[in-house]
Amino acid sequence: MGHLTLVAVLTVLFSLFVEAEANSFVYNYERLRIGGLVFAILLISAGVGFLLYGKCKKRGKHTDNSSEI
């Protein structure tokens, strides 16, 4: 998933800076908004993935510990 995130971030950055205009202080607000939304979605999904990382572990041999109580 790390490579996919890197590709997505590079794609957004490339699309934001591809068109060089004569006046560098004129912004394309639609692209800036879309880039910000994509960046926010990536941050939120990374946060959710980080929170759920410890809860979704691969289970090995299942032992029944209830009989030892």
Residue 26 has phi, psi (to 5 degrees) of -100, 120
Q: Cα 65 to the chain's mean position, in Å? A: 38
pLDDT in tens, 20-61: 556 667 778 888 899 899 999 999 999 998 888 877 666 666
Contacts of 66 (CB under 8 A, 6+ apart): none
CB–CB of 52/36 below 8 Å?
no
Tell me, what's the pLDDT at 19?
A: 64
Residue 23, phi-psi category: left (phi > 0), alpha (psi -120 to 50), beta (remainder): beta
Query: In the predicted model, what is the mean pLDDT of residues 4-22?
Result: 73
